[in-house]
């Protein structure tokens, strides 16, 4: 197999450990991040690019892990001004399916390829390389990307054409938002009824109601530590994207109202399970 040069744009809470896994695997890697301090620990083994232009020019495959539609438009706007013939772009962000599809069309018009490949899992599976990767795009591009996906995730699922990976991600995060609000409410109910928080979380996690989602947030709830692995504001963004994509269900309005109110109360920078602080304050 041809050894391809990789680029990674976006070294936030998720992007940083993902790029590190590609570096640890020994792939030739360049990284770029708007906040330069986040690139320091790549200086020894990888190339720190001074600009998006420089990174794209020296890469065959470029991964992007960006915050939202606005940041995606800014980055891909620059990319589309460059000579990108033959390059593959893999966007692992959670953005709107419409923007992802329009980006894929624009890239293909310039002779490049594109995969939407958002992930399920937070910072721990990102560091462990055990993410679930949901992919939309051409089969040939997925075969090209597979050796790198295998260093980032334990489950790689091809779901169809461009946009289908993001469609699946919105469904997953819509469901997770329900789980976290429900978990917060159950913990607060146990508090009202005089059941110890640790006891109720142990019961939840060891019963049919438990899941990876409840288990990963249990330490935060026990320690009252809401440093963001996945910020509440990012979940609000994803719920609103799901609504725009067609989520019009009995729980939709309640979810949006709760997460929006938590944002307006200044809790958006906390971890998503910090929703308990808003519900408790009502």
**Which H, E and C letters describe 81-115, residue by residue?**
CCCCCCCEEEECCCCCHHHHHHHHHHHHHCCCEEE
The pLDDT mean for the chain works out to 96
Assess contact for 168 and 134: CB atoms under 8 A. yes
- What's the predicted TM-score (pTM) here? 0.93
Structurally, what CATH architecture does the domain formed by 6-161 represent? 3-Layer(aba) Sandwich (3.40)
Fold for 168-281, please state it.
1.10.1040
Assess contact for 238 and 174: CB atoms under 8 A. yes
Whether residue 6 is predicted with pLDDT greater than 70 in this model: the reply is yes
Q: pLDDT by residue (tens digit) across 232-279?
A: 999 999 999 999 999 999 999 999 999 999 999 999 999 999 999 999
User: Phi and psi (nearest 5°) for 217?
Assistant: -95, -10
> Among 19-23, 123-127, 192-196, whose mean pLDDT is lowest?
123-127
pLDDT, position 122: 86
Which residues carry out catalysis?
A: 169
pLDDT band at 3 (very low <50, low <70, confident <90, very high): confident
Q: Distance (Å, rounded) from C-alpha 275 to C-alpha 262?
A: 7
Assess contact for 158 and 117: CB atoms under 8 A. no
Structural domain spans, the chain: 6-161, 168-281
Interaxial angle between packed helices 15-24 and 139-152, expressed in degrees from 0 to 180 and rounded to the nearest 10: 90
């Amino acid at each position: 197999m041809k050894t391809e040069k990789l680029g990674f744009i976006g070294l936030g809470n998720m992007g940083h450990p993902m790029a590190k896994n590609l570096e640890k695997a020994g792939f030739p890697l360049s990284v770029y991040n708007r906040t330069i301090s986040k690139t320091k620990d790549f200086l020894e083994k990888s190339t720190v690019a001074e600009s998006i232009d420089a990174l794209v020019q020296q890469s065959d495959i470029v991964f992007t892990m960006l915050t939202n539609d606005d940041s995606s438009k800014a980055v891909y706007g620059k990319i589309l001004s460059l000579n990108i013939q033959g390059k593959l772009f893999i966007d692992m962000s959670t953005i709107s399916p419409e923007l992802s599809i329009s980006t894929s069309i624009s890239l293909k018009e310039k002779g490049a390829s594109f995969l939407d490949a958002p992930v399920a899992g937070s910072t721990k599976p990102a560091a462990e390389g055990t993410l679930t990767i949901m992919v939309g795009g051409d089969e040939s591009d997925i075969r090209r990307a597979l050796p790198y996906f295998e260093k980032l995730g334990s489950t790689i699922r091809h779901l169809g054409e461009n946009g289908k990976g993001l469609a699946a991600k919105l469904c997953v995060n819509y469901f997770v938002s329900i789980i976290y609000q429900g978990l917060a409410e159950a913990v607060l109910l146990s508090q009202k009824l005089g059941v110890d928080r640790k006891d109720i979380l142990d019961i939840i996690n060891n019963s049919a109601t438990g899941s990876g989602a409840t288990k990963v947030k249990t330490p935060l709830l026990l320690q009252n530590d809401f440093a963001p692995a996945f910020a509440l504001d990012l979940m609000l963004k994803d719920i609103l994207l799901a609504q725009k994509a067609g989520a019009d269900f009995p729980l939709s309005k309640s979810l949006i109202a709760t997460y929006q109110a938590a944002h307006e109360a200044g809790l958006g920078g906390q971890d998503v399970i910090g929703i308990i602080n808003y519900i408790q304050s009502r």
